Amino acid sequence: MNVFKAKEQNGITIMETMVKKNNSPVYAGYCNPSWHNLPTVEFNVYIDKKEKVIHIYDPFKQGTTSIINTLSESFVKELCDKVNIKAKKYEVYVYMAPIHENKAHITAYNYKTNDFYQWSEAKRFDYFTEIAERE
C-alpha cells in the first residue's frame, strides 16, 4: 500500500526558439493534455526576470485543449524546473486570442490558490499580446 500520493506529471518539454526579446529567449513548450484522448498541448513561454512574470502564450489549436485547462501548481513548478527559476518568486500570465472583443485575452493565474486574478498592465508582455490579437 502506497501512503504517498503520486506526483502529477505534466510531461513538459521546453525548447528555445530563435526569437529573443530583451536578450531572453522565447521558448516553445509542449505538455500532456488534461484528457488522455487529446493531442499534445502547445504553448510559448517567456520569462521576465525583471518583473518576475512567467508569460505563457496559448495558440489553442483545434483538436486539443487550452493551456488554461492544464494549469496547476504541479504544472507551474515543473515548468519552472525546466527553465531553472523558483516558482514561488514568479507570477503567471496567460495570453490567448480575443474571446469577446478585438483585444487579446490576458489573465493572471495564482497556482497556490488555483484561481485567476487581475493582471498588471505594467507587466504585460507586448510580444504575446500582439500575436494573440493577430490570431
Looking at residue 4, its pLDDT comes to 42
How would you write the pLDDT of the chain (135 residues) with one tens digit per residue? 444 444 457 788 888 888 899 889 999 988 876 666 667 788 999 999 999 999 999 987 666 678 888 888 989 999 999 999 999 999 999 999 888 888 899 999 999 999 999 999 999 999 999 999 987
Asked whether residue 64 is assigned to any structural domain, the reply reads yes
Asked whether residue 32 is assigned to any structural domain, the reply reads yes
Distance CA 35, CA 84 (A): 27
Record the cell numbers describing residue 16, joined without a space.
528555445
CA-nearest of 119, 43, 113, 110 to 82 is 43
| Full residue range of the structural domain in which residue 129 is found | 13-134
Asked whether residue 73 is assigned to any structural domain, the reply reads yes
Backbone angles phi, psi at 35, to 5 degrees: -120, 135
Asked whether residue 120 is assigned to any structural domain, the reply reads yes
Looking at residue 53, its pLDDT comes to 97
CATH code of the domain covering residue 19: 3.40.630
Asked whether residue 2 is assigned to any structural domain, the reply reads no
Asked whether residue 33 is assigned to any structural domain, the reply reads yes
The total number of structural domains in the chain stands at: 1
